[in-house]
Amino acid sequence: MGPDRRVPETASVWGALERLLLPAACLVCRRPIPEHEADEPVCSGCRFRMRPVAPPWCERCGQPRPLFGACRICADWPDAFRRCRSAVWLEQGARDAVHALKYEGVRRVAGGLARRMAELLPLPGRAAVLIPVPLAKHREQARGYNQSQVLATALGTLWNVRVETEVLTRSRETATQTALTPEARRANVAGAFRVRSGEHPALVIVDDVFTTGATLAECARALAASGARDVTAVTFGRASLPDFT
Ligand SMILES: [Zn+2]
Ligand SMILES: [Zn+2]
């Protein structure tokens, strides 16, 4: 065997050794994760720096109260949509963690995010059902999974509540919401979801990020139209909306 064939072999052995010997890096700050936190993809320092969404807020949607007048975020939500809470502001480390879950295939980050979400709502009863916000089919196929479903599964394990992926589905594709105003977001998702009718226990919608709440409100609207009367929602991140409020 000539040396030219040995090089890649040696390199792959080194790669394996490196993975074995060097501690994993935090996916936010890239520093090595201490051994006692070895199962965490985000180090404790970075987790600590994620800024919780905290009161004073609108009791219903969890958005900081406006300086004047009533909350505009949840004014047109259906009556059945009772409450929504988000764990942390979508900035710096939290944004990186969501990005890793959504675009880098780091599904194991979901456990840590779900732990932050689990404290936000009273423990749902055993009959409650978690409903992940469904992705458009081609997006889920391209990604290989639905990040909201991965979060819901992690949360369901913590809460001991079952996850239902067939109750709420997309009835049509929607454009990416990122660059849209609140009004455009609402129009974009109007009628985008279909509900399989059936029993209606307490439903908890799960999503990765709350931006204007348009997607969650539309999910709740579809669920309410099929008879649901007790809908809440929980997300990991909440985008601050300086331009929209
Ligand atoms: Zn870190
Ligand atoms: Zn509100």
Q: Averaged in consecutive runs of 10 residues, what is the pLDDT profile of the chain (245 residues)?
A: 48 63 83 85 94 94 86 94 97 95 92 95 87 91 94 96 92 71 78 78 95 94 92 95 52
Burial (CB count within 10 angstroms: exposed 0-12, middle 13-18, buried 19+), residue 56:
exposed
Secondary structure percentages of the chain, helix, strand, coil, to 5:
40, 15, 45
64 CA from centroid of ligand 2 (Å): 8
The CA-atom distances, in angstroms, between 230 and each of 46, 104, 165, 226 are 35, 34, 18, 12
215 CA from centroid of ligand 2 (Å): 15
77 CA from centroid of ligand 2 (Å): 9
Total residues found in the chain within this entry: 245
pTM (global) more than 0.75 = yes
- pLDDT at site 18: 59
- pLDDT at site 134: 95
Structure tokens, 210: 């709350």
75 CA from centroid of ligand 2 (Å): 7
CA dihedral sign of residues 99, 149, 202, 227 = positive
Other CB atoms within 10 A of residue 41 CB? 22
The residue among 183, 190, 180, 238 whose CA lies nearest residue 217 is: 190
User: Rounded to whole angstroms, how far apart are CA atoms 71 and 147?
Assistant: 29
Give yes or no for a contact between 174 and 183, defined as CB atoms under 8 angstroms apart.
no
Ligand nearest to the CA of 23: 1
User: Rounded to whole angstroms, how far apart are CA atoms 201 and 183?
Assistant: 31
235 CA from centroid of ligand 2 (Å): 15
101 CA from centroid of ligand 2 (Å): 28
- pLDDT at site 15: 60
Helices within the chain (DSSP H only)? 3-21, 44-49, 92-103, 110-118, 137-143, 147-159, 182-189, 214-225
Ligand nearest to the CA of 30: 1
Ligand nearest to the CA of 25: 1
Give yes or no for a contact between 165 and 149, defined as CB atoms under 8 angstroms apart.
yes
Residue with tokens 């997006």: 139
Give yes or no for a contact between 198 and 167, defined as CB atoms under 8 angstroms apart.
yes
168 CA from centroid of ligand 2 (Å): 24
User: Rounded to whole angstroms, how far apart are CA atoms 63 and 213?
Assistant: 10
CA atoms within 13 A on the CB side of 168: 34
30 CA from centroid of ligand 1 (Å): 6
57 CA from centroid of ligand 2 (Å): 8
